[in-house]
Structure 1
Amino acid sequence: MGLGLTTTVFLIAYGGGLLLIARGLFRASTWSRGPAVFTQLIQVLMAYSFWGGSTRPVSVVLALAAVGVLLAIFQKASTEALKDDPTRDHPPVL
């Protein structure tokens, strides 16, 4: 019972974190890129853990989604939008 409860709380918190990361990516916040890459790498490892037996289709879906998100994050347009540019939000100081 205790393990199930703590796992549930952890996964709800993880889901909430993913929502915050998605909001940050939508707003092109520079802080969101690192956590987004980290969570997708976790998803690739999770896909690997599902490889085999009747869960192989789940593994393929998880891996394809993670790789798709990673490719989108590392595209040139995304990299430019998420670049830490201090002059982007503030006018130049004369």
Structure 2
Amino acid sequence: MAAALTAVEAAALLVLGVLELVHLRSIRLTMGVTTTIFFLGAAAALAWCAWALRGVRRWARGPVVMVQLIQLGLAWNLWAGSTKPASAVLAVVGLVVIAGLVHPASTRALEAADEAA
């Protein structure tokens, strides 16, 4: 579940990167290009981590947990007015992924795969 949700997050970042690219304007070209590069790079890194989690590679847990903690902070900041639904989705997904990664069965599987390698 954690790997699948992480892949969904990567897809969302990819969409944000493409949308930013589509809406580039000369008046804010530098900001648009750097934001696009950031979103696409983050999407690629998160997709790689999701793939690694699916393959039961222990190294991917740290970066994914870090992203979820950042996401929880973002959810906290968005908890007001019309952004409340987006905040709730971000918080639930972040908590589910963290719970999945620290679950004893996940920890055993990741440690067993690391010892076997």
> TM (normalized to structure 1)?
0.87
Q: Which runs of 5+ in 2 are unaligned?
A: 1-27
Q: Deviations along 1:48-71, whole A, 9 cap, x unmatched?
A: 121101001100000000000000
Q: Highest relative contact order (Cα 8 Å, sep 6+), 1 or 2?
A: 2
Give 1:37's match in structure 2, choosing from 54, 65, 81.
Answer: 65
Give 1 or 2 for the bigger CA radius of gyration. Answer: 1
Residue by residue over 1:26-82, the C-alpha shift from the partner in whole angstroms, topping out at 9 and shown as x without a partner, is 000111111111111111111112110100110000000000000000111100111
List alignment gaps of at least 5 residues for structure 1.
90-94
Code of the aligned partner of 2:53? L
Find out whether 1:61 has 2:89 as its counterpart: yes
TM-score, length-scaled by structure 2 = 0.71
8 Å CA contact 1:30, 1:84 repeated in 2: no
Q: 1:82 to 1:56 in 2, by over 3 A?
A: same
In the TM superposition, structure 1's runs of 4+ consecutive aligned residues that sit over 3 Å from their partners are 84-87
Using a 3 Å threshold, how does the CA distance of structure 1 residues 87 and 21 change in structure 2: closer, same or farther? Answer: closer
% identical equivalent positions: 37
- State the alpha-carbon separation in 2 of the partners of residues 65 and 86 from structure 1: 26
SS at match of 2:111: coil
CA distance in 1, matches of 2:113, 2:93: 29
Q: CA RMSD in A?
A: 1.5
Structure with greater helix percent: 2
User: How many residues end up aligned between the 2 structures?
Assistant: 89
